[in-house]
Amino acid sequence: MDRRRFLIGAGCSVAAHPLMTTLTLAGAAGLGENRLIVVILRGAMDGLDVVQPLGDAAFAGLRPGLAGGALPLDGFFGLHPGLGGLMPLWTAGDVGFVHATSTPYRDKRSHFDGQDLLEAGTGMDVAPGAQRDGWLNRMLQAVPGLSAETAFAVGREAIPLLAGAAPVRNWAPEQKLELSAQSRLLLEHVYHDDPLFAGAATEAMDLAADLGEARMGEGLMAQAVPKFADVDRLVAFAAQRLRGDTRIAAFSLSGWDTHRGQQAAIAGPLSRLERVILQMQAALGAQVWGKTVLMAMTEFGRTAAENGSRGTDHGTGGAMVLAGGALRGGRVLGRWPGLAEAELYDRRDLMPTSDVRDWAAQAMQGLYGFDRAVLEGAVFPGLQMTGGAGLLR
Amino acid sequence: MPYDPTIAAIRYGYGLPAADPGSVAAMLDRLAGPDRALADWPAPNLAETVPLVQELGRLKVLRRNDPAQDKPYRAVAAELMQMTSVAGRAVIVRCMQSPDGFRERLAGFWGDHFTVVGRRPETRILPFVLLDEAIRPNMTGRFADLLTAVTLHPAMLIYLDQVSSFGPASIVGQRRKRGLNENLARELLELHTLGVGAGYGQDDVRQLAELLTGLTYDLRRGMVFDPRRAEPGAETVLGQVYDGKGMAPIRAALRDIAARPEVAAHLARKLAVHFVADDPDPALVAAIEAAWVGSGGDLPVVYGALLGHAAAWGPELQKARQPFDFMIAALRALQVPGEDIARMGFGPLRRMVLEPMAAMGQPFKTPGGPDGWSEAAEAWITPQGLAARITWGMEVPPRLVRPLPDPVDLAQRALGPMASERLLWAVARAENMREGVGLVLASPEFNRR
C-alpha cells in the first residue's frame, strides 16, 4: 500500500513538505477530462438473472422458480425488473451490459480468491493474493505526476483494486474529528518509527470519526435507517470529487451471494445498484456524466440452473453492468455461448466468452488513450485485448 | 521453554494488566480445566430463544393481513434483540474479566474460523449460541469433534443454507421439486477444513453436498436428520465412498475430512498467522503442523506446539489488534468493570462500544461473509480505521472512567516494557489528561500484539 510510502514523513503542514505540494499541484492533467468509476459487486452477481437470455430455448427450463417479469431489452435479452429504473438510460444509450464474461478465474469458485483475482487483474498463472497491488492502481502508475486526489477509494471497506504504489485517497462517511495541534504533533511523533501507522496516520488525522451518528445501519444491533442512506452518502461524496479534480473512483456493493430465495434476496442489491447509477447521473450533472464510464463487475457468475432452494450456487460466466454518458450503450455486448447443457462450462455454468479485463482495458484505452502495450503489460499482465467493440461514444 | 509474561498477556490474551500464569505449562493446564468464564457469564442458549422465534414467525404471517399484529410483532422482535444483547455483552465481559485470556482468544479464533452471521431478528443470536454450544465445549478437545459439533449445529445449518438443501432424488426433493444447495459443502472444504489451495474439485463439493442432505433443523428438536430429504445412494468425497443410511456416513465423512493432512497444514498456518505474524516463521508453522499430524488433531497438543516454539515469543509485535481486541484491551487497561458493560443502557453501549467498533472496520460479530475477518494488519490500520481508533481513544475514556488514569501510569499498566521511549516522551507532553490517554490508546504498541 503505497499511499503509505508516499505519506511517510508528510506532516500536517503542506507548506513544510514541498514534495506533497508538488504532487498536489500536479492535478489530474495527465488523465484528461474523462472519469472512470469501478464498482466491485461482492458475492458473485447472478448475471443470468440480471440480464435474462429470454430468447435462449434452454433458459426458462433451467430457472422455473426465478425468471419472470423481465423488461425487454433487445429482442433476446430482458432486464431484471429490479433494475427497471435504468430503462430510460438504456434507451438513451447510457446503460449497457456485457454478458457471458468472467475473469480468468476457474473451477474452485471461491468468492475470496475470485475477488482477489478480479481486483489484482492477473491470470490463473499468479496465485490469488500473490499480486499485492490492484489493476486500477497500476493504471495510475502508468501516468507520472498524478496527485493523490486523482483517485478515491470510497467507503469503509478496503478496495484492493486501488491499492498500490500510486498515491490514492480514501474516504468513508461520517468522519470528522478536530485534533488539537499538539495532539497531532505528538501522534506524529509516536507513529514515526512504525511505517504501517505512519502511513495511515496523516490521512487518518484528516478524517477521524464522528462517533455520534456513525453507521447505525450496520452491525449486530443495527437500527433502522433510511433505505439508501449509505449508498447515497457514498455517491454524493464521489460525485462531488469527480466534478472536481478526481478522475477515478472505486467502491464496492455487497449482498450478491444468493444461494437461497433469490427472488427476494437479489431485490435489495439490485435496488442499491440502480440507485447508485441514477444518483450518480443526477449528482454529476449532464456535463460530467457525459465524460463518465461506470463499470460494475463481480468475481464470477452463478450456476445456469437454479439450485434446490430457489437460489443459485457459485458459477463461472456472468455479466457486467456499464453506465455513463461516455458509453455507447443500449447494447448487450459479448458473444452469447448458449445454455444447452453441452454449451455450458463444466456442464453447469454459463461459458465465459470474454475476459472482464478486456472490457476494462478497452474502457481505459478509450477514456485515457493508453497504449495497448501498457494495458497488456503493466496493467493486466498476460491479457490479449480484442478491441473492436467501440465501447465508447 | 520460552515464556514471557508481557507477551503472554498481549499476544495470547486481551492485554495488560493480567494475572501472570507463570509458564506455558500453566497456560495449558488452565485450558485443561473447566470453562469457568462460560459458567460465570452465561448467555441465552438456543432452546431459550425457540418460543420467541416461533412466536415471531406466527406474528410475521399474521401481520401481513392485520396491521394490529405489527405492534406485538415488534415487541417480540425487541425481546429477541434483548436476548442477543445479553449474549453479546456476555462475550465482551468474559474477554474483559476472565483470568484465562488464552481461552477467550481461542474462542475468538474458532468463532471466526467457523463464522456464522445473523442478519434478521430471529437469527442474530446464532453466532453466540454456536460459540457456547459447539465451539467452547470442543475447542480444547479433538478437531474432528469440534468440526462435527459445529457442522451439525443448527446455527451453521441455517447460516450456510443446509436447511434448504434437498437430495434431488429424495422423497421431498421429488415431491416438491427441490434440489441441492452447495453452500455448506463448499465452505466446509474451502474454509473450515482443507483450505482453498487443496486438491479438491467441484465433484467433491457436489458429492459432499449430496451426502449432507437430510441434515436440517427443527425448532423443537434442534438438529435432525430427515431421511426423506436425503439423496439415496452412495457418495464419493475425496476418493472415499460413503454409503448407508442416517447420520453414520455423514459423521464418518466429517471424521475422515478432519484427518486429512491438508487440514493440518491449513490450520497450522492459520493459527500461526492469527496469533503470531501475518507472515509467520515457516519453522513455527511446521512445528504446529507436525504436532497436529502426530496427535491426530488433538488441539491442546497443537496449542502446546504453538506456545512451545521460540518464534511464538519474539519481542516484535507483528500483528495489528483487530477492533474487537482493541476495544477489550482498552476497557481492560482503563479498568472499566465488566459489570458496567453488562448493565450499561443499550444507547450508551451502542455509542461507546458497538458503533466505534464498526467505524474501526469491524461491526461486532458481523463479518461480510463466511470467511470471517481479515488477518492482515493493512486491512485494519487504514486511514479510516486508525482515525476511528484515535477518535475513540481521545473522546470515549472520559465518559467511561472518572477520574481518568494518569497517562504515564496508563502506559505502564497497559504496555509494561513494551511502552516505547517515543510514547513516554509524547505522553508526558500531552496538553491534558484526556489527550494523554488518547495517545497511549492510539499508539502503535497498544494497537499491535
Give the pLDDT mean for A54-83: 94
Residue A5 pLDDT > 50: no
- Quick one: closest CA in B to A194, which residue? B444
Residue A199: the pLDDT is 87
Last-in-domain residue among B258, B280, B309: B258
B425 and B328 in a common domain: yes
Question: What distance in Å separates residue B190's CA from the closest CA in chain A?
Answer: 8
What's A301's domain CATH number? 3.40.720
Contacts of A117 in chain B (CB under 8 A): none
A19 part of a folded domain: yes
CA distance B194 to B191: 7
Per-residue pLDDT at A21 exceeds 70: no
Q: Could you say which of B178, B320, B350 has the minimum Cβ distance to residue A308?
A: B178
Which residues 112-171 of chain B have a CB within 8 Å of chain A?
Answer: 124, 161, 164-166, 168
* A-contacting residues in B 226-255 (Cβ below 8 Å): none
Q: Does residue B135 sit in the same domain as residue B171? A: no
Contact B168, B241 (CB under 8 A): no
Element containing residue A150 per DSSP (H, E): none
Same domain, B430 and B382: yes
Is residue A118 domain-shared with residue A244, that is, in the same domain? yes
The low-confidence residues of chain B, meaning pLDDT below 50, are none
- The number of CA neighbours under 13 Å toward the Cβ of A237 is 21
A75-102 CB burial, b ≥16 within 10 A, e <16: eebbbbebbeebeebbeeebbbbbbbbb
- A203 in a structural domain: yes
| Residue A391: pLDDT over 90 | yes
Q: Is A215 contained in some domain?
A: no
Domain match, A143 and A46 both: yes
Q: Express each pLDDT in A236-249 by its tens digit.
A: 999 999 999 999 99
Is 50 exceeded by the pLDDT of residue A221?
no
Q: Residues B430, B345: one domain?
A: yes
CB contact under 8 A, A314 and B182: yes
Residue A18 in this model has a pLDDT that exceeds 70? no
Joined grid coordinates for residue A349: 455454468
Distance, in Å, from the CA atom of B289 to the CA atom of B255, rounded to the nearest integer, reads 18
Domain annotation covers residue B305: no
Nearest CA in chain B to A308: B179
The DSSP line for A292-334 is: EEEEEEES--BBSS--TTSS--B-S-EEEEEE-TTB--SSEES
Please check the confidence at residue A17 and state whether its pLDDT lies above 50. no
- pLDDT class for A260, splitting at 50, 70, 90? confident
Q: From the list B358, B378, B427, which residue is nearest A218 (CB)?
A: B358
Q: How many domains does chain B have?
A: 3
Same domain, B129 and B175: no
Domain extent, residue A235, equals 33-174+227-379
Please give the pLDDT value at position A156.
65
In a domain, A20, yes or no: yes
Higher per-residue pLDDT: B316 or A227: B316
- Residue A226's pLDDT is 61
A245 and A191 in a common domain:
no
* B343 inside domain: yes
Same domain, A298 and A205: no
Same domain, A105 and A5: no
**Given CB atoms, is A346 within the 8 Å cutoff of chain B?**
yes
* From A43, A111, A313, residue closest to B181, measured CB to CB: A313
Distance to chain B for A370, nearest Cα, Å: 31
Residue A99, φ and ψ in degrees, nearest 5: -115, 160
Task: Say what the pLDDT of residue B362 is.
Answer: 94
Contact: B183, A259; criterion CB under 8 Å? yes
- Residue A254 covered by a domain: yes
Q: Are residues B130 and B172 in the same domain?
A: no
Q: Could you tell me if B87 and B175 lie in one domain?
A: no
Do residues B181 and B127 share a domain?
A: no
- Residue B20 in any domain: the answer is no
Instruction: Domain of residue B212: give its range.
Output: 158-258
Residues B131, B165 within the same domain: no
Inside any domain, residue A219: no
**Given a cut of 50, is residue A24 above it in pLDDT?**
no
Q: Are residues B355 and B246 in the same domain?
A: no
A87, pLDDT greater than 70: yes
User: Residue A174 pLDDT more than 70?
Assistant: no
pLDDT exceeds cutoff 80 at A9: no
Residues of chain B with Cβ-Cβ distance to A170 below 8 Å are 382-384
Q: What is the pLDDT of residue A366?
A: 95
Task: Determine, for residues A204 and B387 on separate chains, whether the beta-carbon distance falls below 8 Å.
Answer: yes
Do residues A332 and A74 touch, judged by C-beta distance below 8 A? Answer: yes
Residue B169 falls within a domain, yes or no? yes
In this prediction, residue A57 has a pLDDT band, given cuts at 50, 70 and 90, of very high
- The answer to whether residues A144 and A248 belong to one domain is yes
Average pLDDT, chain A: 85
Q: Are residues B39 and B77 in the same domain?
A: yes
Over the stretch A124-145, which tens digit does the pLDDT of each residue have?
A: 888 877 888 999 999 999 998 8
Q: Which of B316, B443, B378 is nearest to A188 (CA)?
A: B443
Where among B140, B174, B205 does a domain terminate? B140
ipTM above 0.90, yes or no: no
Asked whether residue A182 falls in the same domain as residue A316, the answer is no
User: Which pLDDT score, from 0 to 100, does residue A222 have?
Assistant: 44
Report the residue from B88, B205, B383 with minimal CB separation from A220: B88
Q: A216 lies in a domain?
A: no
Per CB-CB distance under 8 Å, the chain A contacts of B444 are: 190-191, 193-194, 196-197
Q: Is A7 part of any domain?
A: yes
Domains in chain A, number:
2
Q: Are B439 and A192 an interchain contact pair (Cβ–Cβ within 8 Å)?
A: no
Residue B317 lies in a domain: no
Give the A window 265-304 contacts with B, CB below 8 Å. Answer: none
B372 in a structural domain: yes
The residue with greater pLDDT, A10 or A370, is A370
Nearest chain A Cα distance for residue B300, angstroms: 30
A40 and A13 belong to one structural domain: no
Looking at the structure, tell me whether residues A148 and A39 fall in a common domain: yes
- pLDDT tens for residues A305-320? 999 889 999 999 999 9
- Return the pLDDT at A8: 26
Indicate the residue among B219, B238, B258 that finishes a domain. Answer: B258
Please indicate, yes or no, whether residues A79 and A180 belong to a single structural domain of this protein. Answer: no
Give the separation between CA A113 and CA A100, rounded to whole angstroms: 20
- How far is the C-alpha of B44 from the C-alpha of B84, rounded, in Å? 8
Q: Are residues A155 and A290 in the same domain?
A: yes
